[in-house]
Amino acid sequence: MGNISIDKDALPRLLADGSTRHGSSYQQAFAELADTHRGEAPARIVPLLRRAADRALLGFTPADLYEQAEAISTGRPYELRITLT
């Protein structure tokens, strides 16, 4: 499980609620990667997650991204705890 603290104004960039003006949300990008990259090495997935996080202006740590990539690779669920500031 990951943790992230974000400003409440950043929530639409993180979650797919249909109201984002920044292109796709990080949640949507994560779901697309999960659909297309299952079984790939986490090291190949991390740069894709980093790009998505950078586009969404989210500050995930390298460890967070690797944990997410492992979940995508193995197909296991990933839980993210969000704290709004």
| Torsion angles phi and psi, residue 3, rounded to 5 | -135, 140
pLDDT of residue 24: 74
pLDDT tens across 49-84, in order? 999 999 999 989 999 999 999 999 999 999 999 999
Q: Which residues contact 58 (CB under 8 A, 6 or more apart)?
A: 4, 6, 10, 13, 14, 26
Across 16-20, 34-38, 41-45, 53-57, least confident range: 16-20
H or E stretch covering 5:
strand 2-6
pLDDT tens across 9-32, in order? 888 889 876 554 556 799 999 999
Whether 5 and 83 have beta carbons less than 8 Å apart is answered as: yes
pLDDT of residue 18: 55
Domain boundaries, the chain: 2-84
